């Protein structure tokens, strides 16, 4: 036994000196034990190996089993500790030390502070579309500590998405976008709850779903969905942050007619002709542009939740990344709007 113990100790020290991972060193010792047990089984009784290693394999099998139990116990304990460290205490009214460290750069800001961060912690934000705009918006919402993020999308990750939809990875190709986004959000911030809806937003669920959230970010790529989201938000009195992209230019605005300003349909009463509003696949889009507009959308949502600053309510911000030019256009409600005028007066 001294002979085998010496070999195991030597292997462990050599592995340590070579900076081999602990698991590799454990595997090497396991191989030694397996070789000794196998030698006792196949070699004759008088063989020097059996004589010098105790004469029986039973003692080695017992030691190996005991070591295996210790290893299993330590692995399980390590996983349990990891879960305790990373699982958010959703019912806790106070932030943990880990959360305080995570959000320290927010907490020191006078416009946010601890109370503001707690407000974000209890907030619920729905993101329509896990594509170019939804991807950066969700990442910053999660990083900021928004407690619950919902995402609805019926699409799957495609190779053509990866040029701009940075929440998805090459390994996610073929995976539902909502699942890919959820995995990225949880990896970024385990204190955020993610609700996924792998389907298209349609009339049968729009109002009910939107009513469950504090604010909606619309990054959809078609006017039918945009008009449906706008109408549902107006009816449910939920503010809407809407963004859009085209090649080198993007725009973002906040629509909250229940407080003031127009709704989306006041500004865009009719969908443009198809040849004038091509999709990203048809017209193309510069890779960094969704990051700029999506981040602005997240910023507007966070400002609303924190009641900080001046929102883009009644204003439409337009940014041209090719010429590095931005402008803000004032917008106003339309007396002929079939959505906000009829529902607000009802």
Which pLDDT tens digit goes with each residue over 152-176? 999 999 999 999 999 999 999 999 9
Question: What is residue 215's three-state secondary structure?
Answer: strand
Q: Where are the alpha helices (DSSP H) in 108-160?
A: 113-121, 134-144
Backbone angles phi, psi at 60, to 5 degrees: -70, -40
pTM: 0.72
**Are 102 and 82 part of one and the same domain?**
no
Which pLDDT tens digit goes with each residue over 267-311? 999 887 665 555 666 678 999 999 999 999 999 999 999 999 999
Q: Strand pairing of 215-218 and 240-246?
A: parallel
d(CA 179, CA 157): 10
Q: What share of residues in the chain are helix, strand, coil (percent, to 5)?
A: 50, 15, 35
The continuous run of DSSP H or E covering 327 comes out as strand 325-330
- The last residue of one of the domains, among 51, 86, 121, is 86
The CATH number of whichever domain residue 220 belongs to comes to 3.40.50.720
d(CA 338, CA 327): 28
**Are 297 and 276 part of one and the same domain?**
yes
**Are 112 and 78 part of one and the same domain?**
no
| 309 in a structural domain | yes
224, 43, 47, 35: which is closest to 128 by C-alpha?
A: 224
Catalytic residue among 233, 263, 266, 280: 280
Query: What is the reported pLDDT for 70?
Result: 75
* Adjacent-strand bridge partners of 250: 245, 319
Query: What is the reported pLDDT for 89?
Result: 42
**Are 131 and 176 part of one and the same domain?**
yes
Q: Which of 117-131, 187-201, 214-228, 261-275 has the lowest mean pLDDT?
A: 261-275
Statement: residue 88 has pLDDT above 50: no
| 117 in a structural domain | yes
**Are 151 and 235 part of one and the same domain?**
yes
| 92 in a structural domain | no
Q: Which of 4-8, 139-143, 248-252, 323-327 has the lowest mean pLDDT?
A: 4-8
- Please say whether the beta carbons of 272 and 279 come within 8 A: no
280 in catalytic set = yes
**Are 63 and 169 part of one and the same domain?**
no
Dihedral (CA of 155, 302, 244, 263) sign: positive
- The last residue of one of the domains, among 86, 117, 139, is 86
Structural domain of residue 22, as residue ranges? 2-86
**Are 60 and 122 part of one and the same domain?**
no
Which pLDDT tens digit goes with each residue over 6-53? 776 776 688 667 766 666 667 777 787 677 777 667 767 666 766 666
- Give the number of domains in the chain: 2
Mean of pLDDT over the chain: 85
244, 251, 216: which is closest to 231 by C-alpha?
A: 216
- Please say whether the beta carbons of 154 and 186 come within 8 A: no
């Amino acid at each position: 036994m001294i002979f085998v113990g010496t070999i195991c100790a030597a292997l462990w020290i050599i592995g340590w000196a070579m900076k081999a991972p602990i698991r590799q060193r454990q595997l090497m010792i396991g191989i030694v034990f397996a070789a000794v047990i196998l030698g006792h089984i196949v070699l004759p009784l008088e063989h020097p190996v059996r004589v010098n290693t105790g004469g029986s394999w039973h003692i080695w099998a017992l030691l190996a089993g005991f070591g295996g139990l210790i290893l299993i116990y330590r692995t399980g304990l390590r996983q349990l500790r990891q879960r305790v460290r990373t699982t958010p205490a959703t019912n806790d009214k106070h932030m943990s030390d880990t959360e305080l460290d995570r959000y320290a750069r927010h907490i020191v800001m006078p416009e946010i502070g601890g109370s503001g961060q707690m407000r974000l912690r209890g907030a619920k934000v729905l993101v329509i579309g896990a594509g170019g705009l939804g991807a950066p918006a969700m990442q910053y919402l999660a990083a900021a500590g928004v407690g619950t993020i919902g995402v609805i999308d019926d699409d799957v990750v495609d190779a053509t998405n990866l040029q701009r939809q940075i929440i998805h990875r090459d390994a996610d190709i073929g995976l539902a976008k909502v699942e890919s986004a959820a995995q990225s959000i949880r990896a970024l911030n385990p204190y955020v709850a993610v609700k996924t809806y792998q389907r298209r937003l349609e009339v049968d669920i729009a109002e009910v779903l939107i009513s469950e959230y504090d604010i909606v970010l619309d990054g959809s790529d078609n006017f039918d969905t945009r008009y449906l989201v706008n109408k549902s938000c107006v009816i449910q009195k939920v503010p809407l942050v809407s963004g859009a992209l085209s090649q080198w230019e993007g725009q973002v605005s906040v629509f909250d007619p229940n407080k003031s300003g127009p709704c989306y349909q006041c500004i865009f009463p009719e969908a443009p002709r198809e040849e004038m509003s091509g999709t990203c696949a048809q017209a193309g889009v510069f890779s960094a542009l969704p990051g700029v507009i999506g981040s602005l959308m997240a910023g507007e949502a966070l400002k609303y939740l924190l009641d900080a600053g001046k929102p883009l309510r009644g204003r439409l911000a337009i940014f041209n990344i090719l010429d590095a030019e931005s402008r803000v256009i004032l917008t106003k409600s339309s007396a002929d709007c079939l959505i906000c005028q009829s529902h607000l007066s009802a």
